[in-house]
């Protein structure tokens, strides 16, 4: 798979989210993500607004599905989502229902291994259950809590090569990556590069980061795409 750049719109204000999405598309981003804060604030309407503004762009709905898998996929698929996220910690039957709905509605299923006991084994399990993508994810609270305790903050890069080697589907690394680390992800075997906090979103306010965001995103896109 050629390298893809996805921007996570973890932004509660829809007008600001749309402004950031337009900026991202001008800069060369390939996929848009209706981030979890947006979905919590606006539900499926967040996806609908993005689809109306960007009729031909892939849109990931980061639902972090844990139950009711088929119905949740159906809801966002009908308003324009092209990809959804299900958690590996969900029951296997939930993951299977999400995969079934993905087939029925033409939606790609991304399995997220956040908080799994064995990140490599969980990635393989997600593939075996039918997920077409694996998100190797170290969570926001997990990273911050571990660092606050005085221990080293974990990074998805710690096991990224092992995760990528364990599966045959495209992999994405998420969780506190710096700009240079995000750009390096394809060299680890993870061609789906996601831009989110702290690269493009203020961690705590869930709104766009300050500074010349468009120039930052354009530079990232050019360097990621050059690896294809």
pTM of the full predicted structure?
Answer: 0.93
- The rounded distance, in Å, linking the Cα atoms of 144 and 67 is 27
Q: What is the pLDDT of residue 207?
A: 58
Tens digit of each residue's pLDDT, the chain (228 residues): 899 999 999 999 999 999 999 999 999 999 999 999 999 999 999 999 999 999 999 999 999 999 999 999 999 999 999 999 999 999 999 999 999 999 999 999 999 999 999 999 999 999 999 999 999 999 989 998 999 999 999 999 999 999 999 999 999 999 989 889 999 999 999 999 999 855 666 655 545 666 788 888 999 999 999 998
Q: What is the pLDDT of residue 209?
A: 63
Sign (positive/negative) of CA torsion 87, 30, 159, 156? negative
Q: What is the pLDDT of residue 22?
A: 96
Q: Would you say 7 and 29 are in contact if contact means Cβ atoms under 8 Å apart?
A: yes
Q: What is the pLDDT of residue 199?
A: 65
């Amino acid at each position: 798979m050629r390298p893809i750049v996805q921007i996570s719109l973890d932004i509660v204000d829809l007008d600001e989210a749309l402004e950031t999405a337009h900026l991202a598309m001008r800069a060369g981003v390939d996929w848009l993500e209706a981030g979890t804060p947006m979905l919590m604030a606006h539900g499926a309407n967040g996806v609908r607004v993005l689809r109306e503004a960007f009729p031909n762009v892939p849109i990931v709905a980061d639902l972090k599905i844990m139950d009711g898998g088929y119905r949740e996929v159906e809801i966002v698929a009908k308003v324009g989502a092209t990809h959804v996220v299900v958690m590996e910690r969900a029951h296997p039957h939930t993951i299977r229902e999400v995969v079934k709905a993905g087939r029925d509605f033409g939606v790609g299923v991304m399995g997220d291994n956040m908080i799994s006991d064995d990140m490599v084994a969980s990635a393989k399990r997600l593939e075996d259950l039918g997920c077409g993508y694996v998100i190797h994810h170290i969570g926001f609270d997990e990273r911050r809590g571990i660092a606050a305790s005085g221990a080293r903050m974990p990074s998805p890069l710690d096991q990224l090569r092992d995760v990528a080697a364990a599966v045959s589907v495209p992999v994405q690394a998420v969780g506190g990556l710096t700009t240079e680390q995000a750009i390096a992800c394809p060299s680890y075997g993870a061609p789906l590069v996601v831009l989110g906090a702290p690269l493009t979103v203020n961690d705590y306010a869930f709104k766009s980061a300050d500074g010349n965001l468009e120039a930052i995103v354009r530079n990232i896109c050019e360097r990621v795409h050059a690896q294809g």
